[in-house]
Amino acid sequence: MTFERLIEKITEDCFRFFGFRSFDEVDRLTFPEYELLCKAHKLSTVDKDMWVHKLAYLNFMAKASRKAGKTRTKPVYETFDKFYDYQKALEKIEREYDTERNERFLAISRKMKERREE
């Protein structure tokens, strides 16, 4: 991805996901701040997914069962955690934001600062 395309994508994300209203706001944003906004947005999405899954689970639990003998039935998912692994979803996002990736964005941030100072 070219440097120009990266800046364009960051600008799109700022307007699309983070509620930015001007290009000045985008220009003041540092790469570490952008990374934090992205992480927070993804974590918020996981929280919303958990809520939706919990609603689906409760609805499902009210109806779903499987045979456990000739006359008895039991739920397909006995606990919510078996239906939706919230902790696993959070850990997946944490892995995306490892130190190596942050270092790469810090290097890009330094390069942008140098360009602005020229």
What is the number of structural domains in the chain?
A: 1
Residue 117 is predicted with a pLDDT of: 76
Provide the domain limits for residue 51: 31-117
What pLDDT is attached to residue 100?
Answer: 63
* Residue 12 belongs to a domain: no
List phi, psi (to 5°) of 19.
75, 20
Identify which of 25, 47, 44 has the alpha carbon closest to the alpha carbon of residue 34. Answer: 25
Alpha-carbon separation of residue 83 from 41, 43, 50, 54 (angstroms): 23, 19, 10, 9
Residues 31 and 105: beta-carbon distance below 8 Å: yes
Residue 96 lies in a domain: yes
Q: Is residue 6 part of a domain?
A: no
pLDDT per residue as tens digits for the range 81-118: 887 889 998 888 888 777 666 677 777 777 777 777 77
Classified as helix, coil or strand, 74 is strand
Q: Is residue 13 part of a domain?
A: no
9 found inside a domain: no
Q: Is residue 5 part of a domain?
A: no
